[in-house]
């Protein structure tokens, strides 16, 4: 009689199991308690059975960089203008000529400013054209 009581107590302590017979599988899975789904717009992340933390969404601005062309004694005004018009979006010849004069007069000019990946691309394209470039600078 005492052994029966021990067996019954042990069975009560075990998780309930359900059979997956008829579902294409003969495995036995433990039946887990169903948790209520959150009804508000916040997302909850459960880190342990006793603590719940709210997930915070942090948005950081995408870093912007400046593309700077340096003055040199190798490139002509015409070549600088053509390279700027060819590779920079929205660049027109008049603005490119103004930038070429600023590069010549001041030693450098910011020719484009924007997101880092695009700045890296324009920097690489203008370098490939033979222009003397300053390292990218954070805007």
Domain with 82 in it? 64-138
Candidate from 62-66, 91-95, 123-127 with smallest mean pLDDT? 62-66
pLDDT for 27 beyond 70: no
Please indicate, yes or no, whether the overall pTM of this predicted structure exceeds 0.95: no
In a domain, 48, yes or no: no
pLDDT for 13 beyond 70: no
Predicted confidence band of residue 51 (pLDDT cuts 50, 70, 90): low
In a domain, 119, yes or no: yes
pLDDT of residue 130: 98
Instruction: Count up the domains in the chain and report the number.
Output: 1
The share of the chain scoring above pLDDT 70, in percent, equals 61
DSSP letter string, the chain:
-HHHHHHHHHHHHSPPEEE-TTTT---EEE-PPPPPPP-SS--EEEEETTEEEE------PPPEEEEEEEP-SSS-HHHHHHHHHHHSTT--HHHHHHHHHHHHHHSEEEEEEEEHHHHHHHHHHHHHTT--BPPPEE-
pLDDT of residue 48: 58
pLDDT of residue 30: 56
pLDDT for 28 beyond 60: no
In a domain, 73, yes or no: yes
What is the CATH classification number for the domain harbouring 88? Answer: 3.30.1390.10
């Amino acid at each position: 009689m005492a052994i029966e009581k021990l067996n019954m107590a042990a069975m009560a302590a075990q998780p309930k199991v359900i059979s997956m017979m008829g579902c294409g599988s003969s495995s036995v899975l433990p039946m887990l308690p169903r948790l209520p789904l959150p009804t508000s717009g916040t997302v909850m992340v459960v880190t342990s059975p006793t603590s719940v933390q709210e997930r915070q969404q942090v948005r950081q601005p995408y870093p912007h960089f400046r593309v700077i062309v340096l003055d040199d004694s190798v490139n002509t005004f015409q070549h600088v203008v053509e390279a700027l018009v060819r590779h920079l979006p929205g660049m027109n010849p008049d603005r490119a000529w103004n930038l070429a004069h600023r590069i010549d007069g001041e030693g450098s000019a910011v020719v484009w400013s924007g997101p880092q990946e695009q700045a890296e691309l324009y920097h690489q394209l203008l370098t490939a054209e033979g222009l003397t470039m300053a390292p990218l600078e954070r805007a």
